[in-house]
Structure 1
Amino acid sequence: MKRILAVLLALPLVFISCEGDQGPPGENGQDAFIGLTYDFFIDLNEQNNFSYTLPFGEEGIEVYESDAVLVYHSSEFYEDPEGDINVWKLLPQSVYFTNGDILEYNYDHTFEEVRIFLDGNIADLGTLDTGYTHDQLFRVVVAPSDFIAESKVDVSDYQAVVRELKSYNPDHQ
């Protein structure tokens, strides 16, 4: 009887300590590196109150509350034989006019959307030249906040952000 009791007590320990074949690798969840860029042209005019909202979910963009959302504006480019090279500037960006007016391209965001808007001290934004409001090119960059903190990248320098994103691997830090 003592042997049966000893076997019954030892049996659960055998099953608890057993290992089977390793299953397929799973995703690391939020610890995995997910970074993306999204480019788009928009008009900022009276019809949309000089504001544009990009809902991430509708565009298939997954953003976590802990992600950093950066928005860049390109209002100029360099001509190159292989294709134009856009100049990207981190928002907010201010335009100063000789009469003292200030126009500002700015943004705010949640993990559900980003809103780009015009601001400044101009009494009537509708009087702006269309070069400041129509066919404006923006780029949204979503990156884990850990990337921004660990890399200490200058986020105002778009090319530096791209270089760091390409080399960033949170599993090998």
Structure 2
Amino acid sequence: MKRMAMLFALIVSGIIFSNCEGPEGPPGPTVYPYVTDIKLNFDGDLNANIASQLVKHDVKLYLGDVVLIFVMEDTDNKGNPIWSPLPQRYFVYDNATQQDEELEYIYNYGVNDFEIIARATAPLGIFNGNGSHPGFLKNMIFRIIYVPGADPVQKFNSTNSGNSEIHPLSYDEVVAKYNLQNISVVKKY
């Protein structure tokens, strides 16, 4: 009889606990990795030395997640894009000042959006393109890569000094590290 009572108690407790529900947990994580391309223009005020674009994230970003941004520099002889990580600098010779002027693209991000900033040592109009250079302000294509909160910086041992130095990953290194070879890119242009 004791065995029957224990078996009955076990069955009843199993039924009771299987129907219990607790409070709903946090929302599920963003599906990573997520990769998107956007095309931006920074030629609104060519007399200014700085311009920026604020862009809302396409995905839910959580604290600790990482946003990596690359700019398309050119294409190779097969038409494949060549990506450079931000920050990225461009130099243009200014005839008026008789010196090279610098344009740098940088970025920052938070949980809601990211901002790409073009800042220059001279008015942006110098970087708008002319016969000597194609321009670095219009139709700039940026690739945004969202990855879980892993550190996007690798340390490399310097062969000269034996010290380690911080080096941002190249686009190809990011693709290999986060297994992005077969990820479809969401085009926003």
Query: Which range, TM-score by smaller chain?
Result: 0.5 to 0.7
Provide the rounded CA distance (Å) in 2 between the counterparts of 1:11 and 1:61. Answer: 49
Deviation at 1:41?
Answer: 1.2
Q: Is the 8 Å Cα contact of residues 43 and 128 (structure 2) preserved in structure 1?
A: no
Q: Is the 8 Å Cα contact of residues 54 and 113 (structure 2) preserved in structure 1?
A: yes
Q: Is the 8 Å Cα contact of residues 92 and 126 (structure 2) preserved in structure 1?
A: no
The normalised TM-score by structure 2 is: 0.63
Higher deviation after alignment, 86-95 or 125-134: 125-134
Cα shift readout 1:99-134 (whole Å, capped 9, x = no counterpart):
132110111111111111101322x11332231111
Match of 1:62 among 60, 63, 70: 60
List 4+ stretches of structure 1 deviating above 3 A. Answer: 9-20, 151-155
Matched, 1:96 2:97: no
Provide the rounded CA distance (Å) in 1 between the counterparts of 2:13 and 2:45. Answer: 66
Which position in structure 1 is the counterpart of 2:77? 79
Q: Which runs of no fewer than 5 residues in structure 2 stay unpaired?
A: 19-26, 94-98, 130-134, 157-166, 181-189
Cα shift readout 1:121-161 (whole Å, capped 9, x = no counterpart):
22x11332231111111001110123747x87965311121
The normalised TM-score by structure 1 is: 0.68
Q: Is the 8 Å Cα contact of residues 45 and 51 (structure 1) preserved in structure 2?
A: no
Identity of aligned residues (%): 18
Aligned residues: 148
Equivalent position SS for 2:60: coil
Q: Is the 8 Å Cα contact of residues 52 and 116 (structure 1) preserved in structure 2?
A: yes
Instruction: State the Cα RMSD in Å.
Output: 3.6
Higher helix share: 1
Higher strand share: 2
Provide the rounded CA distance (Å) in 1 between the counterparts of 2:13 and 2:170. Answer: 53
